[in-house]
Amino acid sequence: MADVRILAIESSCDETAAAVVENGRKVLSNIISSQIDIHTLYGGVVPEIASRKHTERINFVVREALDTAGLSIQDVDAVAVTYGPGLVGALLVGVSFAKGLAFASGKPLIGVHHIEGHICANFLDHPELEPPFPCLVVSGGHTNLVRVKDYGVIEVLGQTKDDAAGEAFDKVARAIGLGYPGGPKIDKISDEGDPLAIEFPKGKVRDSVYDFSFSGLKSAVLNYLNSCEMAGKEINRADVAASFQRSVVEVLTEHAFEALEESGDKVFALAGGVASNRHLREAFEKGCKDRGISFYRPEPVYCTDNAAMIGAAAYYQYLKGERSPMSLNAVPGLAFGNNK
Ligand code: KG4
Ligand code: ZN
């Protein structure tokens, strides 16, 4: 079969991104224009500003993705775009742009689910990885333990009942004055802290083996900070960060290994922004090695939001003949998984 090249666009949150991916696995270009600098001023993503910045940048980002790949729009086989979940105004910029481009060039349009994209980031540069495999998706908006039964066929085994793992990182970072985005900052400062300094609760849900709950952990950190303040005790931010992170890493790894034990799978994949956390990666690397399980995780640049992962997911939809109509709309609360 001839090579299939897909131009993919991602604008669901605060990165304007475009990429060209060949046969779902090979990245020909991956352009990411991050808005972090602007949102940092406000301590988090401001939806209105995100939409505006996407509008300003999308044209250049898509052009650069094609130029870097050495292709014109006529050379690609399809235009793919994230259509949910995410911020509605941000999603709409990518969806509208992709629709215009597909219509004008006569190329098929493929709408992609953002979380499926995160999972498919594992296919990039890993030609041997194929379903079925369990995967833990940990991002700013989602925490899902899933089983990828086939391409695009996902069974959700467990999920968070409240905050997502990344959201907990961001909120705790804000509480200890590290700023936005919190995940990478906690990752870094925790090197200087003692992960055993403070005993925080784990994000478990009683009687629900694979589900998570991070709001109790977040509250425990806030309570700890308040009680220190009231007692006039100095707060060691590195210790708080390292102890909080240990608690998150422990519950994520425990749940994943319980699921692996039950299914007997010998392959496991990690995905989403939090998957770039070094401590989480190391814990899974070691745990998988000890159990003889092959461990996959995307390169850090493919863990956080990017369009290459959207191009990977779109390829398997393309092969199945899935095409989106020109009426494709942004769906901010797009459902996830096939077991509903
Ligand atoms: O996947 P992503 O880029 O966007 C969503 O789809 O949500 O994930 C962003 C999240 C943020 O909460 C950010 O703090 C977190 O991923 N994150 C990290 C790290 N890098 C990004 N969390 C922990 N450690 C990191 N190194
Ligand atoms: Zn994401």
Among 82, 79, 67, smallest CA distance to 103 is for 79
Confidence of residue 339 (pLDDT cuts 50, 70, 90): low
pLDDT value, residue 10: 98
Q: Side chain identity at 220, as an amino acid letter?
A: A
Ligand 1 in reach of 184 Cβ (< 6 A): yes
Number of H helices, E strands in the chain: 11, 10
Ligand 1 in reach of 181 Cβ (< 6 A): yes
Does 207 score more than 80 pLDDT?
no
For a pocket test of ligand 1, which of 139, 188, 302 has the largest count of ligand atoms closer than 8 A to its C-beta? 139
pLDDT value, residue 220: 96
Does 46 score more than 50 pLDDT?
yes
321 CA from centroid of ligand 1 (Å): 32
Dihedral pair phi/psi, residue 160, rounded to 5°: -80, 145
Higher pLDDT among residues 247 and 45, named by residue: 247
Ligand 1 in reach of 274 Cβ (< 6 A): yes
Burial class for 1, CB neighbours closer than 10 Å (0-12, 13-18, 19+): exposed
Give 147's strand partners: 134, 155
pLDDT value, residue 216: 93
Domain ranges of the chain: 5-119+303-319, 130-298
Dihedral pair phi/psi, residue 238, rounded to 5°: -65, -40
pLDDT value, residue 340: 44
Ligand 1 in reach of 115 Cβ (< 6 A): no
The answer for residues whose C-beta is within 8 angstroms of residue 254's C-beta and 6 or more apart is 202
Architecture of domain 5-119+303-319: 2-Layer Sandwich (3.30)
Q: Ligand 1, closest atom to CA 141?
A: 7
Closest-approaching ligand to the CA atom of 171: 1
Residue 119 token pair: 């999972």
Burial class for 290, CB neighbours closer than 10 Å (0-12, 13-18, 19+): exposed
Among 98, 56, 90, 110, smallest CA distance to 73 is for 98
Query: pTM to 2 decimals?
Result: 0.96
The two domains 5-119+303-319 and 130-298 share their CATH topology (first three levels equal): yes
The answer for residues whose C-beta is within 8 angstroms of residue 49's C-beta and 6 or more apart is 35, 38, 39, 42
pLDDT value, residue 180: 85
For the chain, how are helix, strand and coil distributed in percent, rounded to 5? 45, 20, 35
pLDDT digits (tens, 9 = 90+) for 105-133: 999 999 999 999 999 999 998 999 999 99
The CATH number, out of the four listed (3.40.630.30, 3.30.420.40, 3.90.380.10, 3.60.15.10), of the domain defined by the range 130-298: 3.30.420.40
116 CA from centroid of ligand 2 (Å): 10
